[in-house]
Structure 1
Amino acid sequence: MTNPLLRNLLPAALAATVAVACQTVQTTAGGTVGVDRTQMMMVSAQEVEQASRQQYQQMLAEARSKNALNRDPAQLQRVRTIVSRLTAQAGAFRQDAMRWQWEVNVFSSDELNAWCMAGGKMAIYTGLIDRLKLSDDEIAAVMGHEIAHALREHAREKVSKSMVTGLGVSVAGALLGVGSAGQDLMNTVAKVTFELPNSREYEIEADRMGVELAARAGYDPRAAVTLWNKMASASNGGPPQWLSTHPSHATRQRELTEYSARVMPLYERARR
């Protein structure tokens, strides 16, 4: 039988824990493009990054076992060169990101996909590069966009929101440090990263920051427009499933054109 005193105290203790755990943060500086929204977090960056690293290592091991990891050395080097130039500009938004252990690998898959997990663990799929015949500027556009998600800690924010809306046993365990909280968090991080599409708000932020990162790295920010045109064409006029809640194609094209024009001086300076 449950102790009545414990039954009465647990909700209050949990509510107090939630209140203490919840914090308002500003993950990045605004940059030229003006991203300045504050975010509510209920889990630490360190916890999400650790869970992301563990998930990433599992995915690398699985791809390696299927001979689907970094099969083309020249393509891998091309991607890593582009990404290294992008991550070298991360300090424009947050200085601590200059110390992240950035890593990118190429997965052999026909999917039109790319992603960047918390803490800078990335992948791009051969389907995206080969099927769309991406230029270096377009690879920079898609990877700059994904890097921006990590800089803004959108995965951490989505995990925090899921904890608020689905406050149950596993969440209570995570907050109170008991049970299989580590595995629960890793599963949640994987779900918000790979299964749940980003909100329009997140996508606008990643679009803005992505074109700025590309421009600062010396890649033409206008390639973001051609990239999304290719994505729409390859998906019969609409975005792939993993982009299902993104802004409409027409809206995105208009906004990316505007963002690109705003950061053109950065691109021109980087090209000198």
Structure 2
Amino acid sequence: MKRLLYLFLLVAFCGCASGPTFFSEDYLAGMAATEFSKIKEQFPISNDPAGTAMVNRVSSRIAQTLGDEMPDADWEYVLLEDEAANAFAMPGGKIAVFTGLLELVDSDDELAAVVGHEIAHVLLKHANQRMSAELIRGGIGVLVAVGTSEMEDENRALALAAYGIGSQVGIMLPYSRSHETQSDRMGLIIAARSGFDPRAAITFWKKMAEASSSSLPEFLSTHPGYETRIETLTEAMPEALRYYQASKRP
């Protein structure tokens, strides 16, 4: 039985260039909805009307754009009160932005660059790939309890980590360089299709580079360096601008 399981996993892994996915979208969406509710209990919902309106405005336009790609999504966007300069998205259309991020964002276009990037991780099934890879490494028993009432803290942390969320939630765990680069490109297109100026992505990441205190060499990091990220966005910009020019802008 173990040999058959091993062969099945090996074939599945080798047959998928971007990594295997063993979980259904419905399963992940249900699990994400449960975890998203728990996260909202951990952090106060922001009472900043301007910030909330900005998050709703940007997220709703992106949700409308992705209607065909995510037809079954139960979209929900929220601004959470926390100083972390972060945001995340989960399967099923769950989007959270932390108030700390809005301190670095100067326009809807810049926020759209971040939200587009995060929802790109969902469309590219990166969480599914991460959880599936963990299943291969640790065996089916590792994830049996995930998404059930029997889920232990350790397994919940594993599930959150698949979405790039640390157990403290405000701490974002890095995706692989490959996942980040894929999401940079797709996120730029998503923002542009939604009528947001994709050039704002470069403006935003330049600000992030200036604000960053990290001196970790790029080869020691799983995230692309800011220069590499900006190069990726610059390369993808001509295509993104074509989508932007063809988009229906308010």
Question: What's the TM-score, normalizing by structure 1?
Answer: 0.76
Q: Hey, what does 1:58 align to over in structure 2? A: 38
Selected match of 1:169 from 136, 141, 144: 141
Selected match of 1:135 from 76, 93, 107: 107
Q: What does 1:1-272 align with in structure 2 at a 5 Å threshold?
A: 11-12=2-3, 14-15=5-6, 19=9, 22=12, 38-63=18-43, 68-91=44-67, 95-130=68-103, 132-167=104-139, 169-171=141-143, 173=144, 180=150, 186-193=156-163, 194-195=165-166, 196-236=173-213, 245-270=222-247
CA–CA distance in 1 between the matches of 2:129 and 2:154? 16
CA–CA distance in 2 between the matches of 1:15 and 1:184? 24
Indicate the larger mover: 39-48 or 115-124: 39-48
Corresponding residue SS for 1:97: coil
CA displacement, residues 30-65 of structure 1 (integer Å, 9 cap, x when unaligned): xxxxxxx654112222222221111110111222xx
Question: What's the TM-score, normalizing by structure 2?
Answer: 0.83
Tell me: CA distance 1:180–1:85, structure 2 relative to 1, closer, same or farther (3 Å): same
Count of matched residue positions in the alignment of Structure 1 and Structure 2: 238
CA–CA distance in 2 between the matches of 1:112 and 1:179? 31
CA–CA distance in 2 between the matches of 1:182 and 1:253? 40
Identity of aligned residues (%): 32
Corresponding residue SS for 2:71: helix
Q: Hey, what does 2:169 align to over in structure 1? A: none
Poorly superposed stretches of 4+, deviation over 6 Å: 23-26, 181-184
CA–CA distance in 1 between the matches of 2:26 and 2:11? 14
1:88 Cα shift?
Answer: 1.6
Do the aligned residues in 1 keep the contact of 2:117 with 2:184 (CA within 8 Å)?
yes
1:21 Cα shift?
Answer: 11
Gaps of 5+ in 1: 1-8, 27-36
Indicate the larger mover: 139-148 or 114-123: 114-123
Tell me: CA distance 1:254–1:19, structure 2 relative to 1, closer, same or farther (3 Å): closer
Do the aligned residues in 2 keep the contact of 1:103 with 1:122 (CA within 8 Å)?
yes
1:184 Cα shift?
Answer: 6.9
- What amino acid maps onto 1:84 in structure 2? S
Q: CA RMSD in A?
A: 3.1
Q: Hey, what does 1:29 align to over in structure 2? A: none
CA–CA distance in 1 between the matches of 2:116 and 2:69? 17
Greater Cα radius of gyration, structure 1 or 2:
1
